[in-house]
Structure 1
Amino acid sequence: MASSSHLSVPLSQILFPRSLLQNPHAAQSSVATWWTATETYYNLITSKKTSPLILSLGSQILDESYSLGKSLSNKQIVQLASNGGQKDAINVVLTSSDVAVEGFCSSKCGTHGSSLSAKNINGKRSKFAYIWVGNSETQCPGHCAWPFHQPMYGPQNPPLIAPNNDVGLDGMVISLASLLAGTATNPFGNGYFQGPKEAPLEAASACPGVFGKGAYPGYAGDLLVDSTTGASYNAHGVNGRKYMLPALFDPSTSTCSTLV
Protein backbone atom coordinates (compact mmCIF):
# COMPACT_ATOMS: atom_id res chain seq x y z
CA MET A 1 0.00 0.00 0.00
CA ALA A 2 1.73 3.13 -1.21
CA SER A 3 0.82 6.73 -0.43
CA SER A 4 0.95 9.72 -2.76
CA SER A 5 0.06 12.98 -1.08
CA HIS A 6 -0.79 16.34 -2.58
CA LEU A 7 1.09 18.17 0.19
CA SER A 8 1.91 16.62 3.56
CA VAL A 9 0.75 13.66 5.64
CA PRO A 10 0.31 14.15 9.41
CA LEU A 11 1.51 11.65 11.98
CA SER A 12 -1.98 10.32 12.79
CA GLN A 13 -2.48 9.25 9.17
CA ILE A 14 0.98 7.71 8.89
CA LEU A 15 0.30 5.63 12.00
CA PHE A 16 -3.17 4.51 10.87
CA PRO A 17 -1.94 2.16 8.10
CA ARG A 18 0.78 0.91 10.44
CA SER A 19 -1.94 0.08 12.93
CA LEU A 20 -3.51 -2.26 10.37
CA LEU A 21 -0.36 -4.39 10.60
CA GLN A 22 -0.55 -4.83 14.37
CA ASN A 23 -1.29 -8.15 16.02
CA PRO A 24 -5.12 -8.13 16.08
CA HIS A 25 -5.01 -9.61 19.58
CA ALA A 26 -2.85 -6.77 20.93
CA ALA A 27 -5.93 -4.82 22.03
CA GLN A 28 -9.57 -5.80 22.36
CA SER A 29 -10.81 -3.11 19.99
CA SER A 30 -7.83 -2.50 17.72
CA VAL A 31 -7.48 -1.23 14.16
CA ALA A 32 -6.04 -4.63 13.24
CA THR A 33 -9.07 -6.43 14.70
CA TRP A 34 -11.31 -4.21 12.58
CA TRP A 35 -9.30 -5.14 9.48
CA THR A 36 -9.68 -8.89 10.06
CA ALA A 37 -13.43 -8.50 9.50
CA THR A 38 -12.74 -8.19 5.75
CA GLU A 39 -11.60 -11.83 5.78
CA THR A 40 -15.25 -12.85 6.24
CA TYR A 41 -15.83 -12.02 2.58
CA TYR A 42 -13.01 -14.27 1.41
CA ASN A 43 -14.13 -17.14 3.61
CA LEU A 44 -17.48 -17.16 1.79
CA ILE A 45 -15.94 -18.42 -1.44
CA THR A 46 -14.18 -21.47 -0.02
CA SER A 47 -14.79 -24.07 2.63
CA LYS A 48 -11.12 -23.99 3.50
CA LYS A 49 -9.72 -21.39 5.85
CA THR A 50 -8.05 -18.73 3.74
CA SER A 51 -4.82 -16.91 4.49
CA PRO A 52 -5.29 -13.55 6.21
CA LEU A 53 -5.29 -10.43 4.08
CA ILE A 54 -1.77 -9.15 4.47
CA LEU A 55 -0.79 -5.55 3.82
CA SER A 56 2.70 -4.13 3.62
CA LEU A 57 3.53 -0.45 3.46
CA GLY A 58 5.18 0.93 0.35
CA SER A 59 6.81 4.26 -0.37
CA GLN A 60 5.42 7.70 0.37
CA ILE A 61 5.53 10.55 -2.12
CA LEU A 62 4.94 14.15 -1.04
CA ASP A 63 3.84 16.57 -3.76
CA GLU A 64 4.56 19.80 -1.91
CA SER A 65 4.73 21.84 -5.12
CA TYR A 66 1.15 20.94 -6.14
CA SER A 67 2.44 19.65 -9.48
CA LEU A 68 -1.07 19.40 -10.97
CA GLY A 69 -2.45 22.51 -9.28
CA LYS A 70 -5.05 22.89 -6.55
CA SER A 71 -8.12 21.95 -8.57
CA LEU A 72 -7.99 18.32 -9.65
CA SER A 73 -10.14 16.24 -11.98
CA ASN A 74 -10.83 12.55 -11.44
CA LYS A 75 -8.41 11.82 -14.28
CA GLN A 76 -5.67 13.73 -12.46
CA ILE A 77 -6.31 11.74 -9.28
CA VAL A 78 -5.60 8.57 -11.27
CA GLN A 79 -2.50 10.27 -12.67
CA LEU A 80 -1.23 10.93 -9.15
CA ALA A 81 -2.09 7.38 -8.09
CA SER A 82 -0.11 5.97 -11.00
CA ASN A 83 3.08 7.30 -9.40
CA GLY A 84 2.89 4.36 -6.99
CA GLY A 85 3.26 0.63 -7.56
CA GLN A 86 1.75 -0.84 -10.71
CA LYS A 87 1.22 -4.44 -9.62
CA ASP A 88 -0.43 -5.92 -6.51
CA ALA A 89 -0.73 -2.40 -5.15
CA ILE A 90 -3.25 -0.10 -3.52
CA ASN A 91 -2.07 3.44 -4.16
CA VAL A 92 -3.55 6.00 -1.79
CA VAL A 93 -3.82 9.68 -2.75
CA LEU A 94 -4.51 12.12 0.08
CA THR A 95 -5.26 15.75 -0.76
CA SER A 96 -4.89 18.63 1.69
CA SER A 97 -7.64 20.99 2.79
CA ASP A 98 -6.77 23.64 0.17
CA VAL A 99 -7.15 21.26 -2.78
CA ALA A 100 -10.46 20.99 -4.64
CA VAL A 101 -11.29 17.71 -6.38
CA GLU A 102 -14.02 17.00 -8.92
CA GLY A 103 -17.14 15.90 -7.04
CA PHE A 104 -15.59 16.48 -3.60
CA CYS A 105 -18.20 17.51 -1.00
CA SER A 106 -21.06 17.59 -3.51
CA SER A 107 -21.18 13.84 -4.00
CA LYS A 108 -18.22 12.20 -2.27
CA CYS A 109 -15.54 12.45 0.42
CA GLY A 110 -13.23 10.04 -1.37
CA THR A 111 -13.33 7.23 -3.87
CA HIS A 112 -11.63 4.03 -4.92
CA GLY A 113 -11.10 2.44 -8.30
CA SER A 114 -8.55 0.73 -10.49
CA SER A 115 -6.42 1.50 -13.51
CA LEU A 116 -4.14 -0.29 -15.94
CA SER A 117 -0.42 0.03 -15.40
CA ALA A 118 1.38 2.41 -17.73
CA LYS A 119 4.06 -0.15 -18.60
CA ASN A 120 4.03 -3.81 -19.50
CA ILE A 121 5.07 -6.13 -16.68
CA ASN A 122 6.26 -9.52 -17.97
CA GLY A 123 4.65 -8.72 -21.29
CA LYS A 124 1.29 -7.75 -19.80
CA ARG A 125 -0.36 -4.63 -18.47
CA SER A 126 -1.53 -5.28 -14.94
CA LYS A 127 -4.17 -3.52 -12.86
CA PHE A 128 -3.55 -1.56 -9.71
CA ALA A 129 -6.12 -0.30 -7.23
CA TYR A 130 -6.20 3.24 -5.92
CA ILE A 131 -7.93 5.27 -3.22
CA TRP A 132 -8.37 9.01 -2.97
CA VAL A 133 -9.47 10.87 0.18
CA GLY A 134 -9.73 14.64 0.61
CA ASN A 135 -9.37 16.78 3.73
CA SER A 136 -12.76 18.41 4.26
CA GLU A 137 -11.76 20.70 7.14
CA THR A 138 -12.35 23.99 5.30
CA GLN A 139 -14.64 22.79 2.52
CA CYS A 140 -17.35 20.50 3.92
CA PRO A 141 -16.64 19.11 7.42
CA GLY A 142 -20.37 18.71 8.02
CA HIS A 143 -20.51 16.31 5.10
CA CYS A 144 -17.22 14.43 5.36
CA ALA A 145 -16.08 14.76 8.99
CA TRP A 146 -19.24 13.81 10.90
CA PRO A 147 -19.53 12.93 13.80
CA PHE A 148 -16.70 15.35 14.63
CA HIS A 149 -18.54 18.30 13.08
CA GLN A 150 -22.14 19.45 13.04
CA PRO A 151 -23.85 17.64 10.13
CA MET A 152 -25.04 19.61 7.11
CA TYR A 153 -28.44 17.92 7.22
CA GLY A 154 -30.48 15.75 9.54
CA PRO A 155 -30.49 15.65 13.36
CA GLN A 156 -28.30 18.40 14.81
CA ASN A 157 -26.75 16.66 17.80
CA PRO A 158 -23.56 18.19 19.25
CA PRO A 159 -20.40 16.99 17.46
CA LEU A 160 -18.04 14.60 19.19
CA ILE A 161 -14.45 15.48 20.10
CA ALA A 162 -12.02 14.07 17.52
CA PRO A 163 -9.54 11.53 18.96
CA ASN A 164 -6.51 13.15 17.30
CA ASN A 165 -7.79 16.69 17.91
CA ASP A 166 -8.14 17.39 14.19
CA VAL A 167 -11.62 17.31 12.69
CA GLY A 168 -10.46 17.22 9.07
CA LEU A 169 -7.84 14.52 9.53
CA ASP A 170 -9.91 12.31 11.81
CA GLY A 171 -12.65 12.54 9.20
CA MET A 172 -10.13 11.46 6.56
CA VAL A 173 -9.28 8.36 8.60
CA ILE A 174 -12.96 7.34 8.60
CA SER A 175 -13.14 7.76 4.82
CA LEU A 176 -9.81 6.02 4.25
CA ALA A 177 -10.85 3.05 6.38
CA SER A 178 -14.19 2.78 4.58
CA LEU A 179 -12.57 2.89 1.15
CA LEU A 180 -9.80 0.49 2.14
CA ALA A 181 -12.43 -2.07 3.18
CA GLY A 182 -14.24 -1.46 -0.11
CA THR A 183 -11.02 -1.90 -2.06
CA ALA A 184 -10.15 -5.15 -0.28
CA THR A 185 -13.56 -6.68 -0.98
CA ASN A 186 -14.40 -5.07 -4.34
CA PRO A 187 -11.12 -3.88 -5.89
CA PHE A 188 -12.09 -3.99 -9.57
CA GLY A 189 -15.85 -3.50 -9.45
CA ASN A 190 -16.72 -7.19 -9.74
CA GLY A 191 -16.35 -8.26 -6.11
CA TYR A 192 -18.72 -8.00 -3.17
CA PHE A 193 -21.31 -5.23 -3.17
CA GLN A 194 -25.03 -4.65 -2.90
CA GLY A 195 -27.21 -2.67 -5.28
CA PRO A 196 -26.27 -1.42 -8.76
CA LYS A 197 -22.67 -1.62 -9.93
CA GLU A 198 -22.74 2.12 -10.72
CA ALA A 199 -23.49 3.00 -7.08
CA PRO A 200 -22.48 -0.05 -5.04
CA LEU A 201 -22.99 -0.44 -1.32
CA GLU A 202 -19.75 -2.02 -0.15
CA ALA A 203 -18.40 -3.40 3.12
CA ALA A 204 -18.46 -0.05 4.94
CA SER A 205 -20.77 2.09 2.80
CA ALA A 206 -23.56 -0.42 3.47
CA CYS A 207 -23.45 0.76 7.11
CA PRO A 208 -23.45 4.59 6.86
CA GLY A 209 -23.12 6.53 10.10
CA VAL A 210 -22.67 3.42 12.26
CA PHE A 211 -19.65 3.40 14.58
CA GLY A 212 -20.91 1.67 17.70
CA LYS A 213 -23.79 -0.40 19.01
CA GLY A 214 -27.12 1.38 19.25
CA ALA A 215 -26.37 3.80 16.39
CA TYR A 216 -29.21 5.58 14.62
CA PRO A 217 -29.43 8.63 12.32
CA GLY A 218 -27.65 11.48 14.08
CA TYR A 219 -26.15 9.21 16.76
CA ALA A 220 -22.87 7.41 16.03
CA GLY A 221 -23.45 4.72 18.64
CA ASP A 222 -22.11 3.83 22.09
CA LEU A 223 -18.42 4.65 21.86
CA LEU A 224 -15.30 4.65 24.00
CA VAL A 225 -14.39 8.02 25.53
CA ASP A 226 -10.91 9.19 26.49
CA SER A 227 -11.07 10.13 30.16
CA THR A 228 -8.49 12.91 29.72
CA THR A 229 -9.55 14.61 26.49
CA GLY A 230 -13.20 13.60 26.27
CA ALA A 231 -12.60 12.41 22.71
CA SER A 232 -14.74 9.63 21.27
CA TYR A 233 -13.21 6.64 19.48
CA ASN A 234 -13.71 2.93 18.90
CA ALA A 235 -10.27 1.61 17.91
CA HIS A 236 -6.76 1.55 19.36
CA GLY A 237 -3.76 2.00 17.07
CA VAL A 238 0.01 1.93 17.41
CA ASN A 239 1.84 4.38 19.67
CA GLY A 240 -1.29 4.92 21.75
CA ARG A 241 -3.24 6.50 18.89
CA LYS A 242 -7.02 6.27 18.88
CA TYR A 243 -9.30 6.26 15.86
CA MET A 244 -12.93 6.17 14.81
CA LEU A 245 -13.59 3.39 12.30
CA PRO A 246 -16.82 2.60 10.45
CA ALA A 247 -18.91 -0.50 11.00
CA LEU A 248 -18.49 -3.21 8.37
CA PHE A 249 -21.31 -5.22 6.85
CA ASP A 250 -21.02 -8.87 7.89
CA PRO A 251 -22.21 -11.01 4.95
CA SER A 252 -22.56 -14.08 7.16
CA THR A 253 -25.17 -12.40 9.37
CA SER A 254 -26.37 -9.56 7.09
CA THR A 255 -25.80 -7.07 9.90
CA CYS A 256 -23.46 -4.15 10.53
CA SER A 257 -20.61 -5.30 12.76
CA THR A 258 -18.96 -2.79 15.11
CA LEU A 259 -15.83 -2.94 17.24
CA VAL A 260 -17.63 -1.64 20.34
Structure 2
Amino acid sequence: MQKLVYCHLFLLSLSCLSCWALSWSQNQQFKQAKNYEGSSDLVDLEYHMGPVLAAPINLYIIWYGHWNPTHQATIRDFLYSLSSSSAPFPSVADWWRTVRLYTDQTGSNITGNIVLSGEFYDSTYSHGSYLSRLDIQSIIKTAVSTSYGPRALPLNYRNGLYLVLTSSDVKVQDFCRAVCGFHYFTFPIIVGVTVPYAWVGYSGTQCPGMCAYPFAWPNYSGKPPPSTSGGNNIMGAPNGDAGADGMISVIAHELAEVSSNPLVNAWYAGDDPTAPTEIADL
Protein backbone atom coordinates (compact mmCIF):
# COMPACT_ATOMS: atom_id res chain seq x y z
CA MET A 1 0.00 0.00 0.00
CA GLN A 2 2.85 2.35 0.86
CA LYS A 3 4.45 1.95 -2.55
CA LEU A 4 1.11 2.38 -4.29
CA VAL A 5 0.53 5.72 -2.60
CA TYR A 6 4.02 6.99 -3.42
CA CYS A 7 3.82 5.87 -7.01
CA HIS A 8 0.41 7.49 -7.43
CA LEU A 9 1.72 10.79 -6.09
CA PHE A 10 4.81 10.77 -8.25
CA LEU A 11 2.96 9.76 -11.39
CA LEU A 12 0.60 12.68 -10.90
CA SER A 13 3.57 15.06 -10.80
CA LEU A 14 4.77 13.76 -14.16
CA SER A 15 1.42 12.70 -15.61
CA CYS A 16 2.15 13.57 -19.21
CA LEU A 17 5.44 11.70 -19.21
CA SER A 18 3.84 8.70 -17.57
CA CYS A 19 1.40 8.35 -20.44
CA TRP A 20 4.32 7.96 -22.84
CA ALA A 21 6.11 5.49 -20.59
CA LEU A 22 3.09 3.21 -20.45
CA SER A 23 2.68 3.29 -24.21
CA TRP A 24 6.02 1.57 -24.93
CA SER A 25 7.55 -1.62 -23.66
CA GLN A 26 10.71 -1.33 -21.62
CA ASN A 27 12.79 -2.69 -24.49
CA GLN A 28 11.39 -0.12 -26.89
CA GLN A 29 12.11 2.70 -24.45
CA PHE A 30 15.85 2.08 -24.32
CA LYS A 31 16.55 0.24 -27.59
CA GLN A 32 17.51 3.43 -29.37
CA ALA A 33 18.43 6.91 -28.18
CA LYS A 34 15.89 9.65 -28.60
CA ASN A 35 15.06 12.89 -26.84
CA TYR A 36 11.58 13.21 -25.38
CA GLU A 37 9.95 16.50 -24.54
CA GLY A 38 7.29 17.08 -21.94
CA SER A 39 3.85 17.57 -23.43
CA SER A 40 1.91 20.61 -22.34
CA ASP A 41 -0.01 23.41 -24.00
CA LEU A 42 1.50 25.83 -21.49
CA VAL A 43 5.11 24.60 -21.16
CA ASP A 44 7.62 24.41 -24.01
CA LEU A 45 10.21 22.09 -22.50
CA GLU A 46 13.43 22.16 -24.50
CA TYR A 47 16.84 20.52 -24.46
CA HIS A 48 19.73 23.00 -24.17
CA MET A 49 22.60 20.60 -25.01
CA GLY A 50 23.90 20.17 -21.46
CA PRO A 51 24.59 16.85 -19.71
CA VAL A 52 22.15 14.63 -17.84
CA LEU A 53 23.19 12.20 -15.10
CA ALA A 54 23.77 9.21 -17.36
CA ALA A 55 26.53 7.51 -15.35
CA PRO A 56 25.63 5.45 -12.25
CA ILE A 57 24.91 7.83 -9.38
CA ASN A 58 26.61 7.59 -6.00
CA LEU A 59 24.14 9.32 -3.71
CA TYR A 60 25.35 10.85 -0.45
CA ILE A 61 22.95 12.03 2.28
CA ILE A 62 23.84 14.81 4.69
CA TRP A 63 21.50 14.76 7.70
CA TYR A 64 21.64 18.29 9.08
CA GLY A 65 20.25 18.82 12.58
CA HIS A 66 18.52 16.37 14.91
CA TRP A 67 16.60 13.60 13.17
CA ASN A 68 13.98 11.06 14.15
CA PRO A 69 15.47 7.62 13.26
CA THR A 70 12.07 6.45 11.99
CA HIS A 71 11.92 9.34 9.53
CA GLN A 72 15.45 8.58 8.38
CA ALA A 73 14.57 4.93 7.79
CA THR A 74 11.50 5.92 5.75
CA ILE A 75 13.57 8.20 3.52
CA ARG A 76 16.28 5.56 3.07
CA ASP A 77 13.67 2.98 2.04
CA PHE A 78 12.45 5.31 -0.68
CA LEU A 79 15.97 5.95 -1.99
CA TYR A 80 16.77 2.23 -2.02
CA SER A 81 13.59 1.56 -4.00
CA LEU A 82 14.63 3.81 -6.91
CA SER A 83 16.80 1.06 -8.35
CA SER A 84 14.86 -1.93 -7.06
CA SER A 85 14.03 -4.54 -9.69
CA SER A 86 12.01 -6.84 -7.45
CA ALA A 87 9.15 -4.55 -6.40
CA PRO A 88 5.75 -5.36 -7.96
CA PHE A 89 4.21 -2.92 -10.43
CA PRO A 90 3.51 -0.07 -9.87
CA SER A 91 6.64 0.89 -7.94
CA VAL A 92 9.05 3.78 -7.47
CA ALA A 93 11.45 2.06 -9.88
CA ASP A 94 8.70 2.04 -12.52
CA TRP A 95 8.25 5.77 -12.03
CA TRP A 96 12.00 6.33 -12.38
CA ARG A 97 11.93 4.56 -15.76
CA THR A 98 9.81 7.47 -16.93
CA VAL A 99 12.50 9.92 -15.81
CA ARG A 100 15.05 7.80 -17.68
CA LEU A 101 13.42 8.61 -21.01
CA TYR A 102 15.38 11.87 -21.08
CA THR A 103 18.73 11.77 -22.87
CA ASP A 104 21.70 14.01 -23.53
CA GLN A 105 23.16 15.02 -26.89
CA THR A 106 25.08 11.73 -27.11
CA GLY A 107 21.84 9.77 -26.83
CA SER A 108 22.60 8.50 -23.32
CA ASN A 109 19.58 8.06 -21.05
CA ILE A 110 19.45 9.14 -17.43
CA THR A 111 20.85 6.31 -15.34
CA GLY A 112 18.73 3.71 -13.59
CA ASN A 113 21.55 2.87 -11.19
CA ILE A 114 21.30 4.98 -8.02
CA VAL A 115 23.27 3.73 -5.02
CA LEU A 116 23.12 5.19 -1.53
CA SER A 117 26.88 5.38 -1.01
CA GLY A 118 27.33 7.30 2.22
CA GLU A 119 25.73 9.35 4.99
CA PHE A 120 27.02 12.20 7.12
CA TYR A 121 25.42 13.36 10.37
CA ASP A 122 25.78 17.07 11.11
CA SER A 123 23.98 17.07 14.45
CA THR A 124 26.02 20.02 15.75
CA TYR A 125 24.40 22.45 13.29
CA SER A 126 27.83 23.41 11.94
CA HIS A 127 26.40 26.42 10.09
CA GLY A 128 23.63 27.34 12.52
CA SER A 129 19.88 26.83 12.36
CA TYR A 130 19.18 29.72 9.97
CA LEU A 131 20.60 28.94 6.54
CA SER A 132 20.93 30.80 3.27
CA ARG A 133 20.92 28.96 -0.03
CA LEU A 134 24.70 29.29 -0.26
CA ASP A 135 25.02 27.80 3.23
CA ILE A 136 23.83 24.49 1.76
CA GLN A 137 27.04 24.36 -0.27
CA SER A 138 29.07 25.15 2.83
CA ILE A 139 27.37 22.23 4.60
CA ILE A 140 28.53 19.96 1.77
CA LYS A 141 32.04 21.36 2.15
CA THR A 142 31.94 20.52 5.85
CA ALA A 143 30.70 16.98 5.17
CA VAL A 144 33.60 16.22 2.82
CA SER A 145 36.23 17.85 5.03
CA THR A 146 39.15 15.56 5.80
CA SER A 147 39.15 16.90 9.37
CA TYR A 148 36.29 14.48 10.07
CA GLY A 149 38.48 11.52 9.20
CA PRO A 150 36.57 8.34 8.33
CA ARG A 151 33.25 10.07 9.06
CA ALA A 152 33.72 12.43 6.11
CA LEU A 153 32.03 11.81 2.80
CA PRO A 154 34.19 11.48 -0.32
CA LEU A 155 34.27 14.46 -2.66
CA ASN A 156 33.08 12.54 -5.70
CA TYR A 157 33.17 14.89 -8.68
CA ARG A 158 32.80 12.08 -11.23
CA ASN A 159 29.40 10.63 -10.34
CA GLY A 160 28.51 11.95 -6.90
CA LEU A 161 25.17 13.54 -6.02
CA TYR A 162 24.76 15.15 -2.61
CA LEU A 163 21.39 15.34 -0.85
CA VAL A 164 21.21 17.77 2.08
CA LEU A 165 18.22 17.19 4.36
CA THR A 166 17.47 19.69 7.13
CA SER A 167 15.55 18.82 10.29
CA SER A 168 12.35 20.35 11.62
CA ASP A 169 14.08 23.08 13.66
CA VAL A 170 16.22 24.42 10.80
CA LYS A 171 15.00 27.42 8.82
CA VAL A 172 16.27 27.85 5.27
CA GLN A 173 16.04 30.89 2.99
CA ASP A 174 12.73 30.85 1.06
CA PHE A 175 11.62 27.59 2.73
CA CYS A 176 7.84 27.49 3.25
CA ARG A 177 7.52 30.76 1.33
CA ALA A 178 8.73 30.02 -2.20
CA VAL A 179 10.30 26.54 -2.12
CA CYS A 180 10.10 23.16 -0.41
CA GLY A 181 13.42 22.08 -1.90
CA PHE A 182 15.82 23.00 -4.68
CA HIS A 183 18.75 21.65 -6.66
CA TYR A 184 21.82 23.27 -8.16
CA PHE A 185 25.55 22.63 -8.51
CA THR A 186 28.36 23.53 -6.14
CA PHE A 187 30.80 26.37 -6.77
CA PRO A 188 34.51 25.42 -6.80
CA ILE A 189 35.29 28.49 -4.68
CA ILE A 190 33.18 26.97 -1.88
CA VAL A 191 33.39 23.19 -2.24
CA GLY A 192 36.47 22.85 -4.43
CA VAL A 193 34.75 21.21 -7.41
CA THR A 194 31.46 21.35 -9.29
CA VAL A 195 29.04 18.60 -8.28
CA PRO A 196 25.23 18.45 -8.42
CA TYR A 197 23.28 18.60 -5.20
CA ALA A 198 19.77 18.98 -3.86
CA TRP A 199 18.30 20.24 -0.62
CA VAL A 200 14.95 19.36 0.99
CA GLY A 201 13.63 20.50 4.36
CA TYR A 202 11.37 18.76 6.86
CA SER A 203 8.11 20.71 6.79
CA GLY A 204 6.08 18.81 9.37
CA THR A 205 6.22 21.60 11.94
CA GLN A 206 6.94 24.66 9.79
CA CYS A 207 4.58 24.43 6.79
CA PRO A 208 2.99 21.01 6.28
CA GLY A 209 0.09 22.49 4.33
CA MET A 210 2.49 23.87 1.74
CA CYS A 211 5.28 21.29 1.52
CA ALA A 212 3.57 18.10 2.75
CA TYR A 213 0.36 18.37 0.69
CA PRO A 214 -1.76 16.22 0.17
CA PHE A 215 -0.92 14.74 3.58
CA ALA A 216 -1.72 18.10 5.23
CA TRP A 217 -4.12 20.91 4.39
CA PRO A 218 -2.99 24.51 3.60
CA ASN A 219 -4.09 27.02 6.22
CA TYR A 220 -4.99 29.58 3.55
CA SER A 221 -7.57 27.18 2.07
CA GLY A 222 -9.83 27.18 5.10
CA LYS A 223 -11.30 23.97 6.40
CA PRO A 224 -10.56 20.79 4.43
CA PRO A 225 -13.47 19.20 2.56
CA PRO A 226 -15.53 16.87 4.74
CA SER A 227 -15.54 13.15 4.20
CA THR A 228 -18.78 11.26 3.61
CA SER A 229 -17.81 8.95 6.46
CA GLY A 230 -17.05 11.78 8.87
CA GLY A 231 -13.85 13.69 9.50
CA ASN A 232 -12.14 15.17 6.45
CA ASN A 233 -10.80 14.12 3.07
CA ILE A 234 -7.11 14.77 3.76
CA MET A 235 -5.01 11.88 2.46
CA GLY A 236 -3.40 9.94 5.27
CA ALA A 237 0.40 9.93 5.33
CA PRO A 238 1.45 6.39 4.26
CA ASN A 239 4.11 6.17 6.97
CA GLY A 240 2.18 8.07 9.61
CA ASP A 241 4.07 11.36 9.45
CA ALA A 242 3.07 14.11 7.01
CA GLY A 243 6.45 15.82 7.26
CA ALA A 244 8.49 12.74 6.35
CA ASP A 245 6.11 11.58 3.63
CA GLY A 246 5.97 15.11 2.25
CA MET A 247 9.76 15.15 2.13
CA ILE A 248 9.78 11.98 0.06
CA SER A 249 7.52 13.62 -2.51
CA VAL A 250 9.83 16.64 -2.69
CA ILE A 251 12.97 14.46 -2.78
CA ALA A 252 11.51 12.58 -5.76
CA HIS A 253 10.77 15.90 -7.45
CA GLU A 254 14.30 17.23 -6.95
CA LEU A 255 16.03 13.98 -7.93
CA ALA A 256 14.13 13.91 -11.22
CA GLU A 257 15.10 17.49 -11.97
CA VAL A 258 18.74 17.34 -10.89
CA SER A 259 19.17 14.19 -13.01
CA SER A 260 17.72 15.83 -16.12
CA ASN A 261 19.19 19.29 -15.54
CA PRO A 262 22.23 18.94 -13.24
CA LEU A 263 24.14 22.01 -14.45
CA VAL A 264 21.02 24.03 -15.31
CA ASN A 265 21.76 23.76 -19.04
CA ALA A 266 19.92 20.61 -20.13
CA TRP A 267 16.15 20.03 -19.92
CA TYR A 268 14.02 23.02 -18.92
CA ALA A 269 11.53 25.57 -20.19
CA GLY A 270 11.71 29.34 -19.97
CA ASP A 271 14.21 32.06 -20.76
CA ASP A 272 15.90 32.15 -17.35
CA PRO A 273 17.93 29.02 -16.53
CA THR A 274 18.21 30.13 -12.89
CA ALA A 275 14.41 29.97 -12.52
CA PRO A 276 13.38 27.27 -14.99
CA THR A 277 10.34 25.08 -15.38
CA GLU A 278 11.69 21.53 -15.21
CA ILE A 279 10.37 18.03 -15.81
CA ALA A 280 8.82 17.52 -12.36
CA ASP A 281 6.96 20.84 -12.71
CA LEU A 282 4.86 19.60 -15.64
- Regarding TM over 0.5, the answer is yes
- For the structure 1 residues 14 and 145, does the alpha-carbon distance in structure 2 shift closer, same or farther, using more than 3 Å as the test? same
Aligned amino acid, residue 129 of structure 1: P
Question: Does 1:101 pair with 2:101?
Answer: no
Q: 1:159 to 1:75 in 2, by over 3 A?
A: same
Q: Please, what is the CA RMSD of the aligned residues?
A: 2.3
Residues 66, 40 of structure 1: alpha-carbon distance in 2 compared, 3 angstrom cutoff: same
Q: 1:70 to 1:50 in 2, by over 3 A?
A: closer
Distance 2:73 2:101 in 1: 30
Q: How much has 1:27 moved relative to structure 2? A: 1.2
Cα distance in 2 for residues equivalent to 1:126 and 1:102: 23
- Please name the residue that 2:214 is paired with: 147
Matches within 5 A, 1:147-186: 147-154=214-221, 156-157=224-225, 158-186=233-261
TM-score, normalised by the number of residues in structure 2: 0.65
Are the equivalent residues in 2 in contact too, given 1:2–1:91 (CA < 8 A)? yes
Q: Is the 1:36–1:52 Cα contact (8 Å) retained in structure 2?
A: no
Question: Which residue matches 1:192?
Answer: 267
Which of 74, 78, 82 is the aligned partner of 1:12? 74
In structure 1, the residue corresponding to 2:164 is in which secondary structure? strand
Q: Paired residue for 2:183, among 105, 108, 112?
A: 112
- What is the SS of the residue equivalent to 1:57? strand
- Determine what percentage of the aligned residue pairs are the same residue: 34
- The letter for the 1-side match of 2:84 is Q
State the alpha-carbon separation in 2 of the partners of residues 169 and 190 from structure 1: 31
Q: Flag structure 2 segments of 5+ consecutive residues without an equivalent.
A: 1-58, 144-152, 226-232
Counterpart of 1:106, as a letter, is: R
Deviation at 1:34, TM superposition (A): 0.9
Report which structure shows greater RCO (CA 8 Å, sep ≥6).
2
Partner of residue 201, structure 1: 277
Alignment of 1:33 with 2:94, yes or no, is yes
Distance across 2 between alignment mates of 1:3 and 1:30? 22
Instruction: Give 1:67 deviation, angstroms.
Output: 1.6
More helix as a share of residues: 2
1:198–1:119 CA distance, 2 compared to 1 (3 A): closer
TM-fit CA distance, 1:108: 0.4
1:36, CA displacement in angstroms? 1.3
Flag structure 1 segments of 5+ consecutive residues without an equivalent.
207-260
Alpha carbons 1:90, 1:130 under 8 Å: kept: yes
Structure exhibiting the larger radius of gyration computed from Cα positions: 2
